[in-house]
Amino acid sequence: MYFVDRSVAVIKPKEPFLNWLNNVPGNDTDLTLDSLRADCTVILLPEFTDPEEGVSRIDDMADQLFKIELASWYEDEALWPTDRSLKAFWEWFDVEIHSTVLDSVDEDIHNYPAAEL
- Alpha-helical regions (H) of the chain: 15-23, 33-37, 51-71, 86-92
Q: Residue 116 — very low, low, confident or very high, per pLDDT cuts 50/70/90? A: low
pLDDT per position as a tens digit, 57-106 = 999 999 999 999 999 999 999 999 999 999 999 999 999 999 888 889 88
Query: How far apart, in Å, are the Cα atoms of 96 and each of 33, 35, 42, 43, 114?
Result: 16, 17, 9, 10, 21
pLDDT for 74: 92
* Domain residue ranges of the chain, discontinuous segments joined by +: 2-103
Is residue 58 exposed (0-12), middle (13-18) or buried (19+ Cβ within 10 Å)?
buried
* Closest-CA residue to 98 (of 36, 14, 40, 35): 40
Q: Say whether 112 sits in a helix, a strand or coil.
A: coil
* Chain-centre distance for alpha carbon 80: 16
pLDDT for 115: 61
- Spatial neighbors of 66 by CB under 8 A, at least 6 apart, are 84, 88, 89, 92, 93
Q: Is 26 left (phi over 0), alpha (psi -120 to 50) or beta?
A: left
